[in-house]
């Protein structure tokens, strides 16, 4: 948000010296000139092609980082296809799941997934950036491997990870509340442990666990990386070495190996360098998105003592309890964490009569459409009951994507998150002691860093499992 404010004319006179004022003025003039040139070139290309430019002005400091409702506010005037200068890139926003799905289908070969280029580390790079048969081959490989891992085989590790994290927050909070950074660090530790088990079949008792965890922290110190640096590359190469060692252990003694995606790929003799690189790469985004979702779950459920009591009133493991737990996760995804699908154009394309030039970014808006009052009445209210007794089509609700790049771990995320919800509701009481407005972090909106909880272990009632 401060970045956006710094690009406005109101910031020109913020410095006290004329040198600073002059520097700010020159910077803003150059930025406005740049965006004007982009706009004029865009209009010229559209004119040649007999198409239009999406409505909206390109200006520095715009975008959604300072206003989560920026696109929703603009739609009544500009319509469901509009352009905004977002993150210093010309971006076309497409709102509506039917419309977004049609865009992705009509221009399947014209749009590429946005991801860090890892081809210098392993052949083919990340699956998200692949196209055509190569994408189909490796996405299918990863999906089959994940579906072949019985989730029941992971529950001991999952429960230990969740239990340790909740206990650590409760141990701190009687003395002082747990704040945002501490909450995220604890959730990151839990989901990191869980994904190490799912991907590689190891837990903290395995000698490779700590070295891999430390290398992952060097690969993505705060969140998944935007650009590949040499330290990140070195960490990734180290991770590849650990993964190869684990693969050799599976080949040498398959009966002793724990179920994992790596085990499945090795067992099917499908482990080449591209598959290995993608197994390593899956870790960072998968556990980041999961602990970010759990952060929002804490934020919503911390405000809902009646809902937590309702969970406790239902028999653990019952169909009614499971449905409610899943509904809470779905509703959290609807309100936050699931935000958009980002693509970049490989060539000039025309969609709904609008030109989107080559090299521009396209954002298919999920968060905005999930606030449609015609589908979700009172759309900004947290109401898990809207997911009980009602099934939404993919053209109404699509938190995990719309096309061939849809998240392969959707079902697992729902089940893991439901487990987390149940443990936190049945075993602990939660009190919000401080809060602030949500803010836009590197990839997603997050609860305020000021958001703080006090947790106490409940002394009555059975545990969830």
SS3 of 27-65: HHHHHHHHHHHHHHHHHHHHHHHCCECCCCCCCCCCCCC
pLDDT for residue 9 = 45
Residue 61 in domain: no
Q: Is 455 in contact with 178 (CB distance < 8 Å)?
A: yes
The secondary element (H helix, E strand) that includes residue 335 is helix 319-335
CA 421, 423, 425, 428 dihedral sign is negative
Instruction: For residues 244-262, give the mean pLDDT.
Output: 97
pTM over 0.75: yes
Domain membership of residue 431 (yes or no) is yes
In the prediction, which pLDDT does 12 show? 46
Residue 73, domain member (yes or no) = no
Yes or no: say if 49 and 351 are a contact pair by the CB < 8 Å rule.
no
* pLDDT score, position 14: 52
Domain boundaries, position 129: 117-338+364-457
Q: What are phi and psi of 262, to 5 degrees?
A: -60, -45
Q: Which helix (H) or strand (E) holds 445?
A: strand 445-446
| Percentage of the chain lying above the pLDDT 90 cut | 76
CB neighbour list of residue 226: distance below 8 Å, 6 or more residues apart:
116, 442
Instruction: Summarize the confidence of residues 353-371 as an average pLDDT.
Output: 95
Give dist(CA 450, CA 116) in Å, integer. Answer: 31
What digits encode the pLDDT tens for the residues 300-355? 999 999 999 999 999 999 999 999 999 999 999 999 999 999 999 999 999 999 99
Does residue 463 register a pLDDT over 60? Answer: no
Which residue shows structure tokens 């899956």? 282
In a domain, 8, yes or no: no
Per-residue model confidence (pLDDT) at position 363:
94
Query: 51 in a domain, yes or no?
Result: no
- What are the φ/ψ torsions at residue 36 (nearest 5 degrees)? -65, -40
pLDDT digits (tens, 9 = 90+) for 408-461: 999 999 999 999 999 999 999 999 999 999 998 888 999 999 999 999 998 765
Residue 21 pLDDT greater than 90, yes or no: no
pLDDT band at 230 (very low <50, low <70, confident <90, very high): very high
pLDDT score of 17 more than 70: no
Question: What phi and psi, each to the nearest 5 degrees, are found at residue 103?
Answer: -55, -50
Give the pLDDT mean for 177-189. Answer: 91
Question: pLDDT (tens digit, 9 = 90+) per residue, 31-73?
Answer: 788 888 989 999 999 999 999 999 998 887 667 778 899 999 9
Q: Which residue has the tokens 């002082």?
A: 176
Whether 181 is covered by a domain: the verdict is: yes
What is the domain-level CATH number for residue 121? 1.10.630.10
What distance in Å separates the CA atoms of residue 142 and residue 148, rounded to the nearest whole number?
A: 10
Residue 103 confidence (pLDDT) = 96
By C-alpha distance, which of 460, 443, 160, 394 is closest to 295? 443
Which residues, listed in sequence order, are joined to residue 455 by a DSSP beta bridge? Answer: 430
Which two structure tokens, joined as six digits, stand for 137? 């081959």
What span, in angstroms and rounded, lies between the C-alpha atoms of 324 and 422? 10
Under 8 Å between Cβ of 118 and 219: no
Contact 72, 368 (CB under 8 A): yes
- What's the mean per-residue pLDDT of the chain? 90
422 backbone dihedrals φ, ψ, rounded to 5°: -65, -45
Would residue 401 count as lying in a domain?
A: yes
DSSP string across 173-209: TTTS-B-HHHHHHHHHHHHHHHHHHHHHS--TTSTTH
Write down the residue that tokens 């980041």 correspond to: 288
Tell whether 274 is covered by a domain.
yes
Tell whether the model's pLDDT for residue 464 goes beyond 80: no
Beta bridge partners of 453: 178, 432
318 burial via Cβ count (<10 Å: 0-12, 13-18, 19+): exposed
pLDDT of residue 465: 52
**Separation of alpha carbons 430 and 413, rounded Å:** 23
* Residue pLDDT, tens place only, 111-157: 988 889 999 999 999 998 898 899 999 999 999 999 999 999 999 99
**Structural domain tally of the chain?**
1
Angle (CA) 401 124 122, round 5°:
115
pLDDT beyond 60 at 5: no
pLDDT tens digit sequence for 255-292:
999 999 999 999 999 999 999 999 999 999 999 999 99
Contact 413, 299 (CB under 8 A): no
């Amino acid at each position: 948000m401060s970045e956006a404010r710094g690009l406005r004319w109101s910031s020109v006179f913020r410095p006290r010296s004329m040198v600073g004022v002059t520097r700010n003025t020159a910077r803003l003039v150059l930025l406005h000139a740049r965006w004007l040139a982009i706009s004029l070139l865009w209009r010229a290309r559209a004119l040649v092609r007999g198409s239009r430019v999406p409505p909206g002005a390109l200006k520095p400091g715009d975008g959604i980082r300072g206003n989560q409702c920026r696109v929703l506010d603009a739609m009544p005037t500009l319509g469901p296809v509009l352009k905004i200068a977002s993150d210093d890139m010309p971006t076309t926003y497409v709102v509506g799941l039917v419309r977004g799905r049609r865009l992705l289908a009509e221009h399947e070969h014209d749009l590429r997934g946005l991801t860090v280029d890892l081809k210098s580390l392993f052949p083919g790079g990340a699956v998200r950036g692949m196209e055509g048969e190569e994408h189909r081959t490796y996405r299918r490989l990863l999906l089959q491997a994940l579906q072949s891992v019985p989730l029941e085989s992971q529950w001991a590790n999952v429960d230990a990870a969740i239990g340790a994290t909740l206990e650590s927050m409760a141990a701190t909070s009687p003395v002082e509340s747990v704040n945002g950074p501490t909450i995220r660090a604890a959730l990151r530790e839990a989901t990191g442990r869980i994904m190490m088990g799912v991907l590689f079949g190891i837990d903290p008792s395995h000698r490779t666990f700590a070295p891999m965890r430390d290398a992952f922290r060097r690969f993505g110190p705060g969140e998944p990386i935007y650009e590949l640096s040499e330290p990140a590359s070195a960490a990734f190469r180290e991770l590849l070495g650990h993964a190869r060692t684990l693969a050799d252990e599976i080949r040498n003694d398959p009966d002793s190996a724990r179920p994992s995606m790596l085990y499945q790929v090795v067992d099917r003799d499908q482990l080449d360098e591209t598959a290995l690189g993608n197994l390593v790469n899956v870790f960072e985004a998968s556990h980041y998105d999961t602990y970010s979702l759990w952060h929002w779950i804490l934020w919503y459920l911390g405000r809902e003592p009646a809902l937590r009591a309702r969970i406790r009133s239902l028999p653990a493991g019952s169909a009614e309890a499971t449905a409610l737990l899943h509904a809470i996760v779905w509703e959290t995804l609807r309100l936050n964490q699931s935000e958009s699908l980002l693509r970049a154009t490989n060539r000039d394309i025309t969609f709904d009569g609008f030109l989107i030039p080559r090299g521009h970014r396209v954002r298919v808006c999920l968060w905005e459409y999930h606030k449609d009052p015609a589908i979700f009445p009172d759309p900004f209210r947290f109401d898990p009951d809207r997911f009980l007794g009602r099934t939404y089509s993919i053209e109404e609700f699509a938190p995990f994507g719309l096309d061939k790049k849809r998240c392969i771990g959707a079902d697992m995320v729902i089940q893991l998150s439901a487990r987390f919800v149940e443990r936190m509701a049945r075993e602990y009481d939660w009190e919000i002691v401080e809060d602030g407005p949500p803010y836009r972090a590197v990839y997603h909106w997050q609860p305020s860093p000021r958001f703080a909880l006090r947790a106490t272990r409940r002394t009555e009632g059975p545990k969830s499992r």
